[in-house]
Amino acid sequence: MRCKLLLLMIVLAMAGCRNTPPSETSPWIGKNLPEFAFPSIANADTIRSSDLCGKVTLVTFWATWCPSCLQEVPILKGVHKTHGPKGLQVVALSVDKEPQLVEPLARRLGMEYQLATGAERLHMELGLAYIPHTFLLDTAGIVRASFSGGVDREGLDRAIEQLGLR
């Protein structure tokens, strides 16, 4: 019985974690994300939606248990390293139900961009069916690109450059 329960849990977890192509039909394209405030894992600060204005921002929803999310980390690290000095900010919002798992994994993977926990409700409010899910916001905080599932570096670089970061 325990084996069946464990197998069911794994299947359900994987069902919400898949790769799909970037979407230009997201209902959030051309809109601001809803207001939010989540605890940062780096310090006692709070990451707020209002902090996202003024810079081109990549916001990704992810989880420690999602293989596609973990495969995406090197891409996000590379994008942060390449475009961060040009003004891009990267914000990773964890949907983990156990936030204490996020910081050790982030440290081990070298995730040096902004990380916050507690985003599961916002993920649901946005109507996102899968993780990872990544939004690219312009300097006014308006969603200009949406990627459901893992991102590819070339497509992400192209979308960032279209927002003026070259």
pLDDT(108) > 70: yes
Please tell me whether the peptide bond between 132 and the residue prior to it is cis, using omega within 30 degrees of 0.
yes
Q: 113, 85 in Cβ contact below 8 A?
A: no
Residue 44: per-residue pLDDT: 77
pLDDT(24) > 90: no
The position carrying tokens 């979407």 is: 23
CATH of the domain at 10: 3.40.30.10
Residue 33: per-residue pLDDT: 93
pLDDT(23) > 60: no
**In the chain, how many domains are there?**
1
Task: Look over the chain and give the mean of its residue pLDDT values, rounded to a whole number.
Answer: 86
Q: For residue 16, give its domain range.
A: 2-162
Q: 69, 130 in Cβ contact below 8 A?
A: no
C-alpha distances (whole Å) from 18 to each of 149, 158, 166 are 5, 22, 30
pLDDT(45) > 50: yes
Residue 47: per-residue pLDDT: 94
Q: Looking at residues 99-117, what average pLDDT do you find?
A: 94
Q: Looking at residues 33-62, what average pLDDT do you find?
A: 92
